[in-house]
């Protein structure tokens, strides 16, 4: 089968969406499919075309940026050729260009499947409100033109303003999650490098430093946690400097975080590659996903942590609350409530063995090969209809 995957950002860009797309594309290739990823050349230094792990990646030049999106004038031209050459088109939303690609698939008689990752909610402001309206319009046009839509959980679908309109052509499929195995030596070396001596317990957070991620909720919860565990340390993995559109947010929180850094209670790790992330998780006692709005639909890092026996404390957002409920691997906290977050983290720290979960079952449920098979069944069904 020739599969065309279309999304705005692909590797080496780092986000939950790009990691999902990469894992799924690799799994398709391993299962014998021919996979092409069409994306944007968001960084001019990236090659226009290359092979990555058996996946052909074609990057379309970018003319301008709009908020967190890009404008690529030749995207439609390239899409016309590629849609014609492939058997099925998989689009990752949110994506400004999705309606045009879905229309081409419909005209050429090729099934178009949307994988919907999250709702878009940009920070307040007149310009961002306009961008939100445009994105909502584009998403809905793509939803109308597509043959089917995939999302992570029914819980998220039931609460999403977008997905609730397309219940008749919606299938929940769990996301692909996979990490390289970390050797005991690598885990110990990571601890030696990043943990402040005699710091315990260790609270992990893996995200961009962005307002929707709820960093301030964890920050506000720390005084309560430190009363019981004065040597607790937060390890923050992910981009935390010069995050697009988040400078004001960073400027507001960094002075407080700096005080915790001085005392050894907080450390920024920056972006970690998969091998480093595999060594990161075993050094944690708990991970938290205190996200504040529906731009977070699941929190893949929760599953990565759980696969290493690390429980999670997410916020009660639809979708985000599902992993710990499905696998009994943590405690859900109230959205935006720092006291609730602190209480939930303390409950987990005090009873870690209670929330350890079934690791082999977790790895099987989220294995990229298993997820690729679910997509294959959907593709085959839609192609038979065509």
Q: How far apart are CA 385 and CA 20, in angstroms?
A: 27
Check residue 67 and give its pLDDT. 64
Question: Around 145, how many Cα atoms within 13 Å sit in the side-chain half-sphere?
Answer: 24
Q: For 60-80, what is each residue's pLDDT tens digit?
A: 999 887 766 778 899 999 999
Q: For 196-213, what is each residue's pLDDT tens digit?
A: 777 789 999 999 999 999
Listing DSSP states for 187-222 in one string gives HHHHHHHHSPTT--SEEEEES-S-GGGTHHHHHHHH
CA 255 to chain centre: 28
DSSP state of 225: H
Residue 114 corresponds to which tokens in the numbers above?
Answer: 């949307």
Q: How far apart are CA 379 and CA 134, in angstroms?
A: 29
Q: How far apart are CA 344 and CA 348, in angstroms?
A: 6
Q: Quote the pTM value.
A: 0.87
Is 184-364 the same fold as 2-176+367-385? yes
Check residue 78 and give its pLDDT. 97
**Superfamily name and number for 184-364:** Glycogen Phosphorylase B; (3.40.50.2000)
* Nearest alpha carbon to residue 372 among 168, 173, 193, 235: 173
Domain locations in the chain?
Answer: 2-176+367-385, 184-364
CATH number of this structure's domain 2-176+367-385, picked from the four choices 3.40.50.150, 3.40.50.2000, 3.90.550.10, 2.40.40.20:
3.40.50.2000
Q: pLDDT below 70 — which residues of the chain?
A: 67-68, 121-124, 127-128, 131, 386
Check residue 133 and give its pLDDT. 78
Whether residue 13 contacts residue 42, with contact meaning beta carbons closer than 8 Å, is answered with yes
Residue 376 corresponds to which tokens in the numbers above?
Answer: 């294959």
Q: How far apart are CA 215 and CA 286, in angstroms?
A: 15
Listing DSSP states for 306-359 in one string gives HTTT--EEEBS-TTTTHHHHHHT-B--B-TT-HHHHHHHHHHHHHTGGGG---H
Whether residue 118 contacts residue 294, with contact meaning beta carbons closer than 8 Å, is answered with yes
Residue 271 corresponds to which tokens in the numbers above?
Answer: 């972006």
* Nearest alpha carbon to residue 356 among 313, 309, 323, 314: 309
Residue 344 corresponds to which tokens in the numbers above?
Answer: 């939930």
């Amino acid at each position: 089968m020739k599969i065309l995957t279309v999304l705005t950002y692909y590797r080496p860009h780092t986000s939950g969406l790009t990691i999902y797309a990469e894992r799924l594309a690799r799994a398709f290739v391993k299962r014998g499919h021919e996979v092409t990823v069409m994306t944007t050349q968001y960084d001019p230094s990236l090659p226009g075309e290359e092979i990555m792990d058996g996946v052909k990646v074609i990057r379309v030049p970018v003319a301008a940026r709009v908020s967190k999106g890009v404008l690529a004038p030749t995207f439609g031209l390239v899409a016309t050729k590629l849609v014609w050459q492939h058997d099925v088109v998989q689009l990752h939303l949110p994506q400004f260009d999705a309606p045009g690609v879905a229309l081409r698939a419909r005209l050429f008689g090729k099934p178009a499947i949307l994988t919907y990752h999250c709702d878009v909610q940009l920070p307040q402001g007149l310009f961002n409100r306009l961008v939100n309206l445009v994105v909502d319009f584009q998403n809905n046009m793509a939803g109308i033109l597509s043959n089917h839509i995939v999302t992570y959980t029914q819980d998220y679908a039931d609460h999403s303003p977008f997905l609730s309109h397309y219940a008749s052509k919606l299938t929940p499929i769990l996301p692909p999650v996979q990490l390289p195995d970390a050797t005991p030596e690598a885990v110990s070396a990571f601890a030696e490098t990043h943990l402040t001596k005699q710091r315990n317990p260790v609270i992990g957070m893996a995200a961009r430093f962005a307002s929707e991620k709820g960093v301030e909720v964890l920050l506000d919860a720390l005084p309560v946690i430190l009363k019981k565990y004065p040597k607790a340390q937060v390890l923050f993995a992910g981009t935390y400097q010069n995050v697009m559109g988040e400078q004001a947010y960073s400027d507001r929180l960094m002075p407080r975080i700096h005080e915790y850094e001085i005392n050894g209670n907080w450390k920024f790790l920056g972006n970690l590659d998969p091998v480093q992330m595999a060594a990161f998780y075993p050094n944690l006692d708990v991970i938290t996903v205190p996200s504040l709005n529906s731009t977070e639909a699941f929190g893949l890092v929760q599953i990565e942590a759980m696969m290493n026996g690390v429980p999670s404390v997410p916020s009660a957002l639809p979708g985000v609350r599902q992993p710990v409920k499905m696998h009994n691997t943590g405690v859900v906290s109230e959205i935006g409530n720092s006291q609730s977050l602190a209480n939930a983290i303390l409950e987990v720290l005090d009873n870690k063995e209670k929330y350890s979960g079934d690791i082999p079952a977790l790895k099987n449920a989220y294995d990229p090969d298993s997820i690729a098979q679910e997509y294959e069944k959907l593709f085959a069904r839609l192609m038979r209809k065509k």
